[in-house]
Structure 1
Amino acid sequence: MEPPENRARMTSDVEEHAVTRDPLVPLPRRVEVAIIGSGFGGLCMAIRLQHAGIEDFVLLEKEHEVGGCWRDNTYPGAACDVPSHLYSFSFERKTDWSRRFAPQAEILHYLRHCTDTYGLRRHLHLRTEVTGAAFDEAAGLWRIHIADGRTLEARVLVSACGQLNRPAWPRLPGLERFEGTQFHSARWDHGYPLEGKTVAVIGTGASAIQFVPRLVPRVKQLFLYQRSAPYVLPKPDRAYGWFERALYSWLPVSQTGSRWWTYWNHESRVLVFEGPAWVRGILERRFHRHLERSVPDPRLRQALTPTDPIGCKRVLLSNDYYPALTRSNVEVVTEGIREVTPHGLITADGKEREVDALIHGTGFQATDFLAPMRITGRGGRELNEAWREGAEAYLGLTVSGFPNLFLLYGPNTNLGHNSIVFMLESQVRYVLACLRVLRERNLRFLDVRPDAQRDFNARLQRGLERSVWAAGCTSWYKTAGGRNTNNWPGFTFRYRRQTRGPRLAHYEAV
């Protein structure tokens, strides 16, 4: 079923900062580098290109402003679950974060700050949606197709689309018949008045645990439809005082120390996913203490107790989610949804609950990398054909048969324990090293060898098989066939070491 169209307007803050630009502003005919996407990955790539003295590039963004998922996810309570000091570029520190875990608006402001500070808007083409790209092997160029019919040639194509940009809508019988209001959390309808309404929330993932506590005081009744209970741990969040912010500003080394302490503290958490069972046991006991303190009712506590091993799905952080579910106007529904009616939902037990609105907190199509773009490589082979059994890439960055194409936050580079910004900076450094090789050796293209890609992914999948992610649960980390295409198994410093620069023996250099 096609998702219901709901292009809700962003908050006034987003509208105020949006840049008005003619979507038909002429693109250059040819550039050295074309970057798709302007979230953390795209902006990092653009800034580092400038640092390397490369100005011949464009940033192609389908939406009205930069920001990626932090532009799109404006739902109430949206915030990061990685500490602020670690969730920023190493070369552009922010010393005045308001909280230990930054809210969405502050992160979006930081990304706009980076865009303006480094003068990226002269390279930025907003409302410019890429529908596909085809590689011309003879010319060594990517021909990029824009939705409005324009084309662009680039020597190197960098996808910075990320993994969390296309909302996943639930496949429920009768969903299209619902006569009330419905929207996805990543396309929040800020114009819909929730006060006094009866609302159904479908899904209990990372977004839902943030917006549900904000809705409960506003709505008349909230039904939370839970397919499986997540692990929710306390969030060690707090506001930074004026003295701390002043100290970080006046003495930058203090924030550097905080950043490194946070990094190594989080890096050790990889043991939860790949270490012995007793390590997970420590975290599970912490979870149960949090649940027992927050939820006095034993029946509700039982409904909120996960059945999967901790870490098998994303571990969530919140201090107000469980207390919100104990409110008298909240019902946690664990029966599966049988169908949607024009006025509500019927569960497997035959009970219908009438609602005014449906809010889908059902996450993203995280395993469909680069979709819906049509990417064609050497010999006319399409990327979706190469990935028919699940996406894979060498180092999560390059795909055999698709020369000079680099994927930021590509297959198997997601993390369950540390900051993705660290991974992105590692990947950008690798792309720049490949660009230097192309320039210095006067190469037409670099194409990773199929055996190098195959061997890398065989080792990677063996590592994943030893992790808790292979414990049998279903999650957005996996394809329908059960292949984990999203997560990196191991320490991030090991990934950084592997991406110091290209091993040319692993590439066909033409």
Structure 2
Amino acid sequence: MKDTVLDVLVIGSGFSGIGTAINLKNKGITNFKIVDKGKDFGGTWRDNKYPGAACDVPSHLYSFSFEPNPNWSRMFATSDEIEAYMLGVVAKHGLREKAEFGVTVEGMKFDEASGVWNVTCKGGKTIAARVVVSAMGALSNPSIPKIEGSDSFKGEILHTARWRKDVNIKGKKVAVVGGGASAIQLVPAIAPEVKELTVFQRTPSWIIPKPDYDIAEWEKTIYRALPFVQSIRRNTIYAITEMFGAGIVFNTPMTTALERLARFNIERTIKDPALRAKVTPDYRFGCKRMLISNDWYPALVRDNVELVAAPVTKINPHGVESNGEKFDADVLIYATGFEVPKAGVPFPVTGARGHNLNNDWAAGAESYLGINVHGFPNLFFCMGPNTGPGHTSVLVYTEPQYRYIASAVSRMLTEGLQSIEVKAEKQAEFTRFIDERMKVTNWTAGCKSWYLTDSGRNTTLYPGFAGEYVIKASTFHLDDFDVVKKSDIERKQVA
């Protein structure tokens, strides 16, 4: 039995899965496996291959601090370059032999008697592991809106998160549903080659200029020769993003300054008052996700592009309808992002004493540090509830999580601990902090966003500066957990 039980099962092979695996190996833990429903490592950067796909966090900060890349070609890397970086890290650390792809998890159940998670997968396969790490991330399942008549469309239907390169959009009439982070990259990339492009936007976003540029060879040479210079560069970028956090997370004079910058970004390009009105938000800066772009507004003023400030209400065989008006289309593209889990996970998880994660999180996800959940021993999350970034790189938040998890597993193995479960009072204390702090953030200023649950709780973002969270999650404290030792179980069995 011991030979068939993993010490750790990592679900997901994006940044979090890779980072967790590296930290486990650094602790001497090798009896682990990474599983992913996809075909390779890469997570969201494996899946997002639409034209214009790129990161909106500077490259030097959107990478592992322990694996700097001196060869980034741009300040804001493209999807392909990020994926290549990740695969390089995988190869360097020998993780491919630890991974199994095409594995779709369908359920998990914790056996209290043995302290083991039994994970069921599509096709009937079962994996037993003492510890499970959910490294699936929030951006994995495409969000496809339910629109009347979608099955009747006779043209091609695409989604930015599942792009098909076999579909030729050149010279076609294209309808894009969505005006958020994916759309502002996609639309400028395809506008020059399509015949007509109609963009349907529910709500405009505040968009500031993107400080992007090609990184010169001399700069790369300096980073290769003097790694500490790149480290200084990374830390400087991080400090700037934390400064921006003062205006994005909280309502301060910085918020006003950023909103003025966003208005300038509109006014310098769009002269038509009607179009200006369509792209100008009516909510306070920071209430929804801030975006960055230099080419979204120029794309909207092209002669072959039309912005419709209303949702698609119906799809017909030859196009779409919005507010009773019909628009012809040969290709329909959903730039609608991902289904962000706000109250559960995409499969049933049964913990100790009959706890069901989807039930426990039905009113909104709660956790301890976004990593552990009471009622679910030996289960850890990367980028769990309220550990998403509103202003900086997600890796700033997840790197301490990798270390925290590896430290916890190491102590379990070296001290003979069968299970550890975060104490209810520690989770309640963290939840109270989150809820109280959230009241003074821009995210609860009254606008409707994907950050919020149906009940209005923000279970997605951390309501503060990244540095504050890093300090909180920097050290694993066993005293925060109810512990069951193997020796205690063995004595009971003998008795």
TM over 0.5: yes
Change over 3 Å in CA distance of 1:371–1:177 after alignment to 2: farther
* 1:250-272 Cα deviation digits (max 9, x unpaired): 11111011011111111112111
- Structure 2 equivalent of residue 24 of structure 1: none
Runs of 4+ in 1 over 6 A off after TM superposition: none
Aligned: 1:481 with 2:455: yes
Deviations 1:312-337 (A, max 9, x none): 11111111110000001111101343
Partners of 2:366 and 2:459 within 8 A in 1: yes
Q: Deviations over 1:379-415 (max 9, x none)?
A: 2322101111112211000111000100001111111
What amino acid maps onto 2:325 in structure 1?
Answer: K
Q: Do the aligned partners of 1:210 and 1:321 also contact (CA within 8 Å) in 2?
A: yes
Given candidates 436, 440, 450, the residue that maps to 2:424 is: 450
**Pairwise CA RMSD of aligned residues?**
1.3
Q: Give 1:310's aligned amino acid.
A: F
Distance 1:398 1:252 in 2: 35
Give, in whole Å, the separation in 2 of the partners of 1:159 and 1:63.
Answer: 15
Question: 1:364 is matched with which residue?
Answer: 338
CA distance in 2, matches of 1:158, 1:373: 14
Question: Would you say 1:283 and 2:272 are equivalent positions?
Answer: no
Structure 1 window deviating more from structure 2 (75-84 vs 441-450): it is 441-450
Q: 1:378 aligns with which of 341, 349, 352?
A: 352
Please point out which of 321, 324, 335 is paired with 1:346. Answer: 321
The answer to whether the 8 A contact 1:73-1:186 is kept is yes
Matches of 2:103 and 2:385, distance apart in 1: 24
Residue deviations 1:91-133, cap 9 Å, x none?
1111110011111101000110011111111111111111111
Partners of 2:265 and 2:163 in 1: how far apart?
A: 30
1:32 pairs with 2:11: no
d(CA) in 1 for partners of 2:254, 2:413? 48
Quick one: distance in 2 between partners of 1:336 and 1:420? Answer: 30
Distance in structure 1 (CA, Å) of the matches to 2:250 and 2:286: 11
1:154 to 115, 129, 136: 129
Distance in structure 2 (CA, Å) of the matches to 1:74 and 1:505: 45
1:465-494 CA-partner distances (Å, limit 9, x unpaired): 110000111111112222111000111111
Aligned to 1:111: 86
Aligned pair partner of 1:90 in 60, 65, 74: 65
| Alignment-derived partner of residue 441 in structure 1 | 415
Residue number in structure 1 paired with 2:289? 314
SS in 2 for 1:502: coil
Amino acid at match of 2:191: V
| Contiguous gaps of at least 5 residues in structure 1 | 1-27
**What letter corresponds to residue 149 of structure 1 in structure 2?**
G
Q: 2:367 aligns with which of 380, 393, 398?
A: 393
State whether residues 59 and 74 of structure 2, in contact with CA within 8 Å, keep that contact through their aligned partners in structure 1.
yes
Deviation at 1:368, TM superposition (A): 4.5
Aligned position for 2:50: 75
**Whole-Å separation in 2 of the counterparts to 1:263 and 1:379:** 43
Q: Check whether the contact 2:343–2:363 (CA below 8 A) recurs between aligned residues.
A: no
SS at match of 1:294: coil
CA distance in 2, matches of 1:218, 1:104: 21
Q: Indicate conservation of the 8 Å contact 1:406/1:431, yes or no.
A: yes
**Separation in structure 1 between the aligned mates of residue 311 and residue 337 of structure 2, nearest angstrom:** 18
Displacement of 1:341 in angstroms is: 1.6
**Residue of structure 2 equivalent to 1:25:** none
Amino acid aligned to 2:398 = L
Amino acid at match of 1:415: P
Q: What's the counterpart of residue 200 of structure 2?
A: 225
Q: Residue 190 of structure 1 aligns to which amino acid in structure 2?
A: K
Q: Who is 1:172 aligned against?
A: 147
Report the CA distance between 1:427 and its aligned residue.
Answer: 0.5
Shift of the alpha carbon at 1:371? 3.1
Name 1:424's counterpart in structure 2.
398
Question: How far 1:370 sits from its partner (Å)?
Answer: 6.2
Say if 2:156 is the partner of 1:181.
yes
Q: Is 1:194 matched with 2:173?
A: no
Question: Structure 2: how far apart are the matches of 1:121 and 1:337?
Answer: 43
Amino acid at match of 1:107: I
Sequence identity percentage: 41
CA contact (8 A) 1:412 1:484 kept: yes
Aligned position for 1:323: 298
Distance 2:105 2:419 in 1: 22
Assess, with a 3 A threshold, how the Cα gap between structure 1 residues 264 and 330 changes in structure 2: closer, same or farther: same
2:33 alignment partner, SS class: strand
**2:212 corresponds to which residue?**
237
